[in-house]
Chain A
């Protein structure tokens, strides 16, 4: 078992690092977007040199300096020329493969993901990440707490009352919420409960706000995230439970003399759980990326917001994109491992890492 987990974890890192490497090299091949402000740019390039991505030299030959100013000088590809009085400090990128090793070394040895270039100039990317993570995690966990019980209960209800009024109403609701994009649901809710009725804040308040708003402002984003997930879980629970309810072993359980309630709770639910647990773990991953658009609509200063900010066209913040991509990819890959392990826990018939 441990061996299995170890191998899977190793695989996660191999996939993660390969993909990040592709992303890293892609980024180094497209135009870069250093900080726009001059001082910040100087600091940024100095750091590039100390991190091992560039080398620098001083150009003090008056003729060359003049040529650079005129624009007649042929600048090298990807180089930066910073004027400093009469001289130029020239930053030349090292070959990509060296940059790549430097980058890997920085991450592995110092956990250094570089600095932000546009979103929050010269702030270490990991600090931005740390400051944005809590609010996103809070909203996502609250959604998890909301959607799991609600989805289960609705799904069980629908399965037990199959083809009755309750089931039809629940199925209709499921159809609606699974079809409508979550940002449309969110927009409608903000319009109705935020602007129309005025019950809830229309935007996420700044972090230093005290009082009730801190809690009421969580309602809309959590609901906006939950609806789709509830619909998905309800549908799956209903389908699984319906199947189990018609199976032979349940009939046997009833024949033994168990009441319907006992049969459902002890036999049917546990068996229908097998595909549900993985779906919940995947749903959490979906929530995490789904929260990007919710954060955008509700102005929540979370991870998704900062990711989109970093991804503003012609204003890219590559280090931030890399770090956040690493995070999202890791979560996604890790969820798969969790799912595979969960099969063994939920259904003891499945053995992890067993030879076929």
Chain B
């Protein structure tokens, strides 16, 4: 403020001429001259956001080029043992995100493995030590499976529609001794039938199945107690089978739901048998079976199953100790040679008891080995049964970090994403080059010759451009089938139009200039005029406008590959014998991830994130470049 006020009252006496008496036109410039590119560079640098975007873009490109080369992890071969590992990132794992644990839900509980302290069951088939502390939960759901984990409920015996009788037998023979007062208790949950006279007889089949005695009848739900020898008129002890006999009219939708069948006698306080849930089905042994299979159906209902949910340290599971029952001796020998410094073989290699290795060796312990057998080539082959330290065996000193996890084939997803990015960038670049070449030639001819040629070529371009992308897709997929060729053709068929129209404009702008006319008067041919005089003047504008085509091509490529019409896994392409292009692009990875959107969202999230950043920074870079080279176009995006 003070400076401003000071400058307010300046009079002519405060000014003087800089060079009243000097002549300066032969003086050298003290500043350096600024060329076209330097000028552009200064303008480019001015926009801070765009510079940051460009740096990020460069970083992405470098990652795409170098990560697949320098990575030590496998991204090419199937490795089923390592499939579907969640992402694990150092540092971040300490905060509980991307820590390589997998959240598992609805896993069947192991009913024999109960933790008294927590009051919870552990899951079946998982190592309890690797469950993240405090994440284990149990919940109960209804089940109808005929499995041991489904407890209680009823067993529903239904009569088939075209039958009027059904027998349901207990598989074991029971000794009924009158002296011990055997009492049968049957708990029926329901007996439903459209036939009011439907009845279920409780029978004892004895004398090796030749005689049947009915000891009671059941007509409705309830708990029934039958004193067996009240109705059974035979000499004790009787060796017999328990039988339920359901009688109802055909098509009466009759069914009985058993909750429990048990028999007590005086010989002990424990029941002789006590069957409920799974015991009442044919799966249990001994169980209950239908007399004739097509008489009816046996189903479970309202059983309770305990399920667990927990976070699991899957990395420690996969890379911990692993028992391998069959490990070929050849591989074993190779392993020993590769790790000769850490593994010392015992003196007695034929010790049947097996032997252990020191810490640091990929093999922890050899449990057994098979007898050598002679193969067809005359050599002897045998295998070891051993315990591997899997991390060491795979060549990792410690449990490795898969930053983006692994995919369904056990491939390192981090390397795959960058590989996909590289492929996408390559295709983008190649297609952009093709488009620019075609576009420049087409636009040059249009613009240079003008008149009827221009009109006809414009109409042609217009028609090509008006056919929707989907229809081109259909045409080329039918014609060429999915693959790289289709992809490139599809991206080229309409892609050159933009370049052609930019070029045409540039040609209209420059073709009437004096220097062109001068050159023509000196006898220059059309091709010389086009390529030596007009094109170099317009090429800056054309190229900067075309840079923005690359993200567009990547966009379209990912869409086509996502739909499954582009490249795919397992393909690889040699380009001019120089580059090998893999069949993995971001679109392919996204298409893979689609099937596991719920269970493994990271397979979609990471490639989606990377392509988003790439597209955003590429567009910003392209805009910045265009603004820098053609400041007149700034803002008109």
Contact = CB atoms under 8 A, between A and B. Distances in A.
Interface of A: 15, 19, 22-23, 26-27, 30, 175-176, 178-181, 183-184, 187-188, 190-191, 195, 202, 235, 239, 242-243, 285, 289, 292-293, 296-297, 304, 307-308, 311, 313, 316, 318, 321, 324-325, 328-329, 331-333, 336
Interface stretch (B130-138, B272-280, B528-536, B594-602): B594-602
A187 to B, nearest CB: 6
Contacts of A293: 559, 562-563
Contact of A183 (B478, B562, B619, B637): B562
B558 interface: yes
Given A184-B590, A239-B636, A321-B478, A179 B616 contact: yes
Interface in B588-637: 590, 594, 597-598, 601, 604-605, 608, 611-612, 615-616, 618-620, 635-637
B477 interface: yes
B475 A23 contact: yes
A190 to B, nearest CB: 7
12 contacts: A15-B466, A19-B467, A23-B471, A26-B478, A175-B620, A181-B611, A183-B562, A293-B559, A293-B562, A325-B470, A328-B468, A331-B468
B474 interface: yes
Contacts of A289: 468-470
Which A-B residue pairs are the 8 nearest by beta carbons? Answer: A179-B615, A179-B616, A325-B471, A180-B612, A328-B468, A184-B608, A332-B468, A179-B619
A231 to B, nearest CB: 11
B614 to A, nearest CB: 8
Contacts, number: 113
B474 A321 contact: yes
Given A26-B475, A175-B620, A311-B474, A329 B467 contact: yes
A179 B635 contact: no
A187 B608 contact: yes
Contact of A316 (B478, B565, B616): B478
A325 B466 CA distance: 12
B612 A179 contact: yes
B508 interface: no
B357 interface: no
B468 A183 contact: no
A175 B637 CA distance: 11
Contact of A184 (B468, B565, B597, B612): B612
Contacts of A27: 478
A26 B481 CA distance: 13
A321 B473 CA distance: 11
A336 B468 CA distance: 12
A180 B615 contact: yes
B208 interface: no
A15 B615 CA distance: 35
A308 B560 CA distance: 11
Interface of B: 463, 466-471, 473-475, 477-479, 481-482, 551, 555, 558-559, 562-565, 590, 594, 597-598, 601, 604-605, 608, 611-612, 615-616, 618-620, 635-637
B513 to A, nearest CB: 25
Contacts of B471: 19, 23, 325, 328-329
Nearest to A288: B468
A188 B608 CA distance: 8
Contacts of B468: 285, 289, 328-329, 331-332
Contacts of B594: 187, 297
Contacts of A328: 468, 470-471
A181 B481 CA distance: 24
Contacts of B475: 22-23, 26, 325
Contacts of A243: 636
Contacts of B619: 175, 178-179
A242 B608 contact: no
A292 B470 contact: yes
A315 B477 CA distance: 11
Given A190-B597, A325-B475, 14 more contacts: A15-B466, A19-B467, A23-B471, A178-B619, A181-B559, A184-B558, A184-B611, A187-B594, A289-B468, A293-B563, A307-B474, A311-B477, A321-B478, A332-B467
A30 B551 contact: no
A329 B474 CA distance: 12
Contacts of B469: 289
- Of A27, A178, A179, A188, most buried by chain B (CB within 10 Å of CB) is A179
B615 A195 contact: no
B476 to A, nearest CB: 10
Nearest to B482: A313
Given A175-B619, A235-B637, A293-B559, A313 B481 contact: yes
A195 B467 CA distance: 37
Contact of B555 (A181, A292, A318, A324): A181
Given A179-B619, A285-B468, A293-B559, A239 B635 contact: yes
A116 to B, nearest CB: 15
Contacts of B562: 183, 293
A243 B597 CA distance: 45
B478 A191 contact: no
Nearest to B617: A179
A191 B467 contact: no
Contacts of B605: 188, 191
A234 to B, nearest CB: 11
A335 B601 CA distance: 39
B601 A195 contact: yes
A8 to B, nearest CB: 12
A331 B637 CA distance: 27
A188 B479 CA distance: 34
A195 B477 contact: no
A352 to B, nearest CB: 18
A190 B608 CA distance: 13
A292 to B, nearest CB: 6
A311 B473 contact: yes
Contacts of B474: 23, 307, 311, 321, 324-325
A19 B475 CA distance: 10
A42 to B, nearest CB: 25
Contacts of B597: 187, 190-191, 195
Contacts of A176: 612, 616
